[in-house]
Structure 1
Amino acid sequence: MEQTWTHTTVLLNEAVDALLNRPVELPDSLKTEDGHYVDATFGRGGHSRLLLSRLAPQARLTAFDKDPQAVAEAQKIVQSDARFSIRHQGFAHLNELPTQSCQGVLMDLGISSPQIDDPARGFSFRAEGPLDMRMDPTRGRSVAEWLMSAEVREIAEVIRDYGEERFAGPIAKAIVERRQAGRPLATTAELAQLVAGAVKTREPGQNPATRTFQAFRIFINAELEELQAALEASLDVLQTGGRLVVISFHSLEDRIVKQFIARHAREVYDRRAPFAAPTPTRLRAVERVRPSEAEVAANPRARSAIMRVAVRTDAEREEA
C-alpha cells in the first residue's frame, strides 16, 4: 500500500486572516472578496483550502508549485472548485500574471512535511534515501549529480553561505576526497555520516548534518534567487491595497523578506540630484507574527516560522 504523508500547515489561520485583512469568517451571503488571490507555494494546500472557503463565489485563486506531488494534490481541488487553478511552476513565475491583477499574494517558504518525511525525496538525514533534494525531481540536477563534479571551493561556499556552517571547508574536502577514492556520495545516510565525521562540535540537540542538508537543498533548488525574483514580481502583480504575506523558516529567507519590505517601504533620494523627487514607497509594512506556544507544542516544525505582512501602496500613482 502506498504511504500517505501528512502535513500540518503553519500559521494557517493567521496567514489567511492577514491576506484577507479580516480575522473572522463570514457567511456566504456576506463574502465580498471577489478578486484574484495567489498561493505562490501550494505545498499540500492547507492555505489554499482555507482561503477558498472564505472567498466569494466569483473570486479566483491561482496556485504555484514545482513539486509534481503537490500539483497532483492540487488537481483534486481543480476538479471540485472552478475558482481554483494550479501552475506546475516555481513562484518566480508570478511575473507571468497580469500587472496589478491580484489582491493578495501568499508565500509559505521552505519544504513541506511530506517532502521531509518521504525518504525517496532525499531531503532528510533521518532515513536512507537517494541524495536528490530537488523540489521537482523531473528537472535539473540532483545533489548527488552536482557533487560528482563540484570542486572543493564551490562545495565549501555553498555549505558556508546557505548553511552558515563553520566547518564548511572540512566537509567539502571530505566529500571530494571520497569521490576521488571512487566512492562518490549517493545516499542521504552516506552524506550524514560523512558530515558527522567532519563536524567536531555542534549545538546541543542539533544533528551535525542539519546545516549541510539545508545548504544543499537551498542551492540545488536556487531557493533564495527564486524568492528574490518572486518578491520583485509581487510588486507588479499586486493591486493598490493588495497584501503580501510571507512565512519564512530560517534566517536567510527572513533576512531577504525583511530587507525587501524595508527597501520598498521608504522613499529613496538620489544624492546626485538633491532637488529631484524621491523614489516613492511601494510597500507598507503591517506586522510580524510568530506561531503561538500552543501551535509550536502541537507542531514543533513551526518553532522557527516568522510571518511578515506588507501592503502595496499607491505612491507611484499619486506621483503620476
Structure 2
Amino acid sequence: MRDYHIPVMLKQCINFIAPKPGGIYVDATIGGGGHSLGLLESCPDIHLIGFDQDSEALLEAHKTLFPYQDRVELIQANFSRMRTELAFRQIKTVSGILFDLGVSSHQLETPERGFSFDLDSPLDMRMDQSSDLTAEIVLNELSQKALTRIFYDYGEELNASRIAGKIVKIREEQPFKTTGDLVKVIESVVGKGTKASLKTKARIFQALRIYVNQELEILEQALKDAINILEPGGRIVVLSYHSLEDRIVKNVFRSAAEGEEQTSEASFLNSTKKRKLQLLTRKPLQADAEEINNNPHSRSVKLRAAEKI
C-alpha cells in the first residue's frame, strides 16, 4: 500500500474522526486504502465503506484491507453518488466521513494516466477510466476562449490566454497527443528550467485534471450531502491540496456552522438559525516538516474537520 500511496496526515485524520466501536465510517476517496487501514486498525468492530471511481485504486484497496474484508465494502463510484449508494444499502446515517481530495502517488507515477508533466505520456487525466472526456479531447477541440477560462479559473494561471492561444495555433498543424506536447507549449511561453516555469506547468496540469473530472462542480454538493448523512456527534475530515478546493470546503463548513435561516410555518416573524456543524479546526492544519520531508506530496495539504451537532 505504501508503494501505491502514502496516506497524508494519517494520525491527525484518525484523531479527528475518533472512530467508535459499532460505527459506520465512509472513506469517500479510498485510493490505495491507507487512511481506511488506519481507521480499521485504530478501533475494533467498525464497518467501513470505501468509494473510488478509479478501478485500479479499488483493486489496491482490496489488497490493503483484505485482513478486514468482513468489515469493509468497496464501491466503484464518485463521491457525488455517496448519498444515493448508501440509501440503496438502507444506510441513513454514518458516524464519520473522510475526503482525501489529492491525486495519489500511484496515479502521478503511472505514465499512461497522464497526470504528471514529468512523464511523456498520453493526454488522459481521467480518474474514471470509463468516462469519455480526456485531456487530449479538451486540448484539441475546445476554443481558445474556453481553454483560457479553464487555465485561469481552475489553475489561477496568469498566462492562461497566451498558452491557450499557442495551443490553438499549434493544433492546426499537429494535434496534441502527449503530455510532452503540452509541456513544450507551456515552456515556449514561460521558459524552461525555472521555478516559475515549474509552477506554471503544475497549474496548467491541475486545471486540465479538474476540468476533465469535474472536480469542483461536484465537491460542494458532495460535502453538503456528507454533512446531512452524519449522525449527531459524527465527524467529517477533508484533506485538500489547492486553494480552490480548500475555499469550497471552508465555505461549506462555515455555512453549516453558522446555520441556515429557518422560518416557522406559524409565523414568518419567528425565524431561527439551525446550525449543523461545530468546527474542530478554525484554520486548516498542515503537515509538519518531518512528514513533508518523508512525503513531499503532503506539502500543500490543508486539513479541515468538523462535528455534526
Distance across 2 between alignment mates of 1:208 and 1:108: 24
Which amino acid in the other structure matches residue 285 of structure 1?
L
Q: 1:125 aligns with which of 117, 142, 151?
A: 117
Give per-residue Cα distances to partners, 1:226-279, cap 9 Å, x unaligned. Answer: 2112101102211011101001111001010001100111134489x9733223
Q: Which residue of 2 aligns with 1:60?
A: 47
Give per-residue Cα distances to partners, 1:16-54, cap 9 Å, x unaligned. Answer: 111116xxxxxxxxxx52110000001111101111112
Q: Which residue of 1 aligns with 2:81?
A: 93
User: Structure 1: which 5+ runs fail to align?
Assistant: 22-31, 314-320
Q: Which residue of 2 aligns with 1:286?
A: 280
Higher share in helix: 2
- Say yes or no: does 1:42 pair with 2:30: yes
Q: 2:308 aligns with which of 302, 306, 312?
A: 312
Q: Which residue of 1 aligns with 2:160?
A: 168
CA RMSD of aligned residues (A): 2.1
Distance across 2 between alignment mates of 1:70 and 1:52: 18
Q: Which residue of 2 aligns with 1:14?
A: 12
Change (3 A) 1:177 1:296: same
Distance across 2 between alignment mates of 1:269 and 1:229: 19
Q: Secondary structure at the match of 1:189?
A: helix
Q: 2:56 aligns with which of 49, 69, 76?
A: 69
Contact 1:78–1:85 (8 Å) recurs in 2: no
Q: Which residue of 1 aligns with 2:178?
A: 187
Shift of 1:73: 1.3
Q: Which residue of 1 aligns with 2:102?
A: 110
My pick for the range that moved more, 262-271 or 192-201, is 262-271
Give per-residue Cα distances to partners, 1:112-131, cap 9 Å, x unaligned. Answer: 00000111110011011001
Distance across 2 between alignment mates of 1:218 and 1:289: 23
Q: Which residue of 2 aligns with 1:25?
A: none
Counting only pairs closer than 5 Å after superposition, residues 168-247 of structure 1 correspond to structure 2 as 168-181=160-173, 183-199=174-190, 203-204=195-196, 206-247=198-239
Q: Secondary structure at the match of 2:49?
A: strand
Distance across 2 between alignment mates of 1:102 and 1:208: 40
Q: 1:295 aligns with which of 291, 294, 299?
A: 291
Q: Which residue of 2 aligns with 1:27?
A: none
Report how many residues are paired: 297
Distance across 1 between alignment mates of 2:3 and 2:39: 22
Distance across 2 between alignment mates of 1:152 and 1:5: 39
Give per-residue Cα distances to partners, 1:208-238, cap 9 Å, x unaligned. Answer: 3111000000110011112112101102211
Contact 2:262–2:274 (8 Å) recurs in 1: no
Contact 2:261–2:274 (8 Å) recurs in 1: no
Contact 1:95–1:236 (8 Å) recurs in 2: no
User: Structure 1 vs Structure 2: percent identity of aligned residues?
Assistant: 35
Distance across 2 between alignment mates of 1:56 and 1:78: 14
Give per-residue Cα distances to partners, 1:43-96, cap 9 Å, x unaligned. Answer: 111101111112323x21000001111011122256542100111011111111
Shift of 1:203: 4.8
Q: Secondary structure at the match of 2:162?
A: helix
Q: Secondary structure at the match of 1:278?
A: strand
